[in-house]
Structure 1
Amino acid sequence: MSFVIEAPGMMASVQDLGRPGYARLGVSRGGAADRGALRLANRLVGNPEDAAGIEVTAGGFQAYAERDLLLAVTGAVGPVRIGGRAVGTNAPETWRHGESLEIGAPTASLRSYLGVAGGVATTVVLGSRSYSRLGDLGAPLSAGERVPVGRAPGKHPVVEHAAVPPPATCELTLAATLGPRAGWFDEAARATLLAESFTVTGELDRTGIRLDGPAIHRMTDAELPSEGMMRGAVQIPAGGRPIIFLSDHPATGGYPVPLVLTPAAADAAAQLVPGMSVRFALCG
């Protein structure tokens, strides 16, 4: 079974929950930028949560089915059509042989996730099917490419619809814990980081997001030796404007990290669009 890409949009790629355990080789975990959305898409079609699906950035995606398939689209809010008819998101839908699936430009958030019963069955590399630009593993999907699908589960799920809170469109508060280098910042700097809002700039991709706002100054001019990084790390470079690391972050980094987003907040950060405001809030 398979489907064929007609238009990938800005970028579409195969993603699962990533390849943990290879940071020593310089390969970060990667995987879906919004893991929660991918997990939901898989549950809706009866797959294991770690099955591979398609991550679509900013819509513009179109594909046609070569067999009858069961699909679910989650993540960003926007128009979805199958065979020209409008269908809902966060719910399983039938995709008939020969029909075209269209995932349009989002009206809120950035990334959509296409889950297909049986999961996307591309080649496994280092334990994952995920495309990683920094790891030079795989490649984005292109027009004309045939995407194989695995054997569908024996029973279709009984889930009819998943209640998903509407995404934030103006300002979002991101929950975080103190990072390993919080001590590089004095009380005033930490207070500013947690009290002020920051604006999402146009410099964002699967690697991370640059924010604009008040500068967060370190207590020292010393440079930090490179150390391991993780998704959700909030780095403060010399200029003082925070950077949020997303799934395709480098395995190491040399800027201090005063905060680390919770997994759910890292998922939410992956759906930020330029111009939105974010705040950080300590949890736990």
Structure 2
Amino acid sequence: MTLTILRTGPLTVIKDEGRPGHAGQGVAPSGAVDRGAYARANALVGNPRGAAVLECTLGGLRVRFDEPATVALTGTDAVLTVDGTRTAVEEVVSVPAGAEVTVTMPRRGLRSYLAVRGGLAVPAVLDSRSTDRLAGIGPAKPAVGDTLPIGPAPATPSPRTTSPSLAALPSTASPSGTPSPLAEGVGGPADADGPLEVDLGPRDDWFTAEAIQTFLSAEFTVSPSSDSVGLRLDGPVLARARTDELPSEGVVRGSVQVPPDGHPIVFQADHPVTGGYPVIAVLTPAAADRAAQARPGARLRFVVAPA
């Protein structure tokens, strides 16, 4: 069974749980940027943990299966269409052989995850099928005309599927029928879903008390230069209490690193293994997933996670 790429949209890559354990080789774990949405997509179609899926940024993806397939879409409010017919959001969908499956542009959120029962069976690199954009390893970005193999169906019972039955929808539109504004973030421009929880440290002592207070009270805006490596934030400058040079040290997904210009960067899945600037705080795993859905222009706030 295969999947053929008919259109990629702004950016589509292959992702799984990542490749932990290779930091000594200078390779970060990478993997899906929104881990929760990725896991839900696989669970819906009955795949085991770690199966590879398509991570689609801002919709626009269109594919075709050569045999009947079972698929699910998670992560945003993008709509999955089958031959132009809408399906329900985060539902298991049965796709006939030869049908064209499209992911529309979402109104809210950034990254959608398309899972197919059996998973994408592209060759693994360092035990992972994730595209790592920083290290430049893993499968190449899918291109129009590429044919990707699908693995055998897992032994788990086949999930209950829904056949497309809703109103037809143009494949290039958002669910409202109009293009989605790039500046609308996962919680809307005003961060309606609340602040992102963090644990302070390990280098919060490198910042002034005023900078810590500002970090936990001010609003920051996601810069257009953000990507799967990191969210670059515009806003108030976070002043250091120490101006020493910090030796490079290990960093993890969700680390909030502050370079000399004082504007924080939230590391995402394809972050570097080490960083030479102080980390003021680290997002909780759930908060890191929410940050993965923040578009350029989205406004973010931070709060200390409860003990």
TM-score tier after normalising by the smaller chain length: over 0.9
Within a 5 Å distance, the mapping from 1:32-71 to structure 2 comes to 32-71=32-71
User: What's 2:188 paired with?
Assistant: 169
Q: 2:227 aligns with which of 192, 196, 205?
A: 205
**% identity of equivalent residues:** 43
In structure 2, give the amino acid aligned to 1:66.
D
In structure 1, give the amino acid aligned to 2:96.
R
| TM-score normalised by L of structure 2 | 0.88
> Is the CA contact 1:40–1:49 (under 8 Å) kept in the aligned structure 2?
no
> Is the CA contact 1:121–1:147 (under 8 Å) kept in the aligned structure 2?
yes
The offset of 1:194, in angstroms, is: 0.3
User: What's 1:126 paired with?
Assistant: 126
What's the secondary structure of 1:204's corresponding residue?
A: coil
User: What's 1:270 paired with?
Assistant: 292
In structure 1, give the amino acid aligned to 2:52.
A
Q: Deviations over 1:39-68 (max 9, x none)?
A: 000000001132111100111100101110
In structure 2, give the amino acid aligned to 1:91.
E
> Is the CA contact 1:46–1:156 (under 8 Å) kept in the aligned structure 2?
yes
User: What's 2:253 paired with?
Assistant: 231
1-structure distance, mates of 2:89, 2:225: 28
> Is the CA contact 2:6–2:64 (under 8 Å) kept in the aligned structure 1?
yes
| TM-score normalised by L of structure 1 | 0.95
> Is the CA contact 1:206–1:249 (under 8 Å) kept in the aligned structure 2?
yes
> Is the CA contact 1:73–1:112 (under 8 Å) kept in the aligned structure 2?
yes
1-structure distance, mates of 2:161, 2:247: 49
> Is the CA contact 2:93–2:161 (under 8 Å) kept in the aligned structure 1?
no
1-structure distance, mates of 2:84, 2:90: 18
Unmatched segments (≥5 aa) in structure 1: 161-165
Q: Deviations over 1:80-132 (max 9, x none)?
A: 21111111221100111000001011111100000110111110110100011
Aligned residues: 279
What's the secondary structure of 1:42's corresponding residue?
A: helix
2-structure distance, mates of 1:179, 1:2: 46
User: What's 1:140 paired with?
Assistant: 141
> Is the CA contact 1:186–1:219 (under 8 Å) kept in the aligned structure 2?
yes
Unmatched segments (≥5 aa) in structure 2: 163-184
2-structure distance, mates of 1:88, 1:44: 13
Deviates more, 1:255-264 or 1:183-192: 183-192
> Is the CA contact 1:235–1:257 (under 8 Å) kept in the aligned structure 2?
yes
User: What's 2:105 paired with?
Assistant: 105
1-structure distance, mates of 2:161, 2:206: 48
Q: Deviations over 1:120-145 (max 9, x none)?
A: 11101101000112221121110001
2-structure distance, mates of 1:219, 1:97: 62
2-structure distance, mates of 1:206, 1:213: 20
User: What's 2:173 paired with?
Assistant: none
Q: Deviations over 1:181-206 (max 9, x none)?
A: 11101222111100111111111111
**How large is the RMSD of aligned CA atoms in angstroms?**
1.4
In structure 2, give the amino acid aligned to 1:282.
V
2-structure distance, mates of 1:47, 1:158: 13
User: What's 2:158 paired with?
Assistant: 156
2-structure distance, mates of 1:23, 1:96: 42
In structure 1, give the amino acid aligned to 2:27.
V
What's the secondary structure of 1:202's corresponding residue?
A: coil
2-structure distance, mates of 1:179, 1:23: 21
In structure 1, give the amino acid aligned to 2:302.
F
User: What's 2:85 paired with?
Assistant: 85
In structure 2, give the amino acid aligned to 1:243.
I
1-structure distance, mates of 2:186, 2:259: 29
Q: 1:240 aligns with which of 248, 262, 267?
A: 262
User: What's 2:17 paired with?
Assistant: 17
What's the secondary structure of 1:206's corresponding residue?
A: coil
2-structure distance, mates of 1:144, 1:17: 26
In structure 1, give the amino acid aligned to 2:95.
W
What's the secondary structure of 2:216's corresponding residue?
A: helix
In structure 1, give the amino acid aligned to 2:158.
H
2-structure distance, mates of 1:223, 1:159: 56
1:280 corresponds to 2:280: no
User: What's 1:163 paired with?
Assistant: none
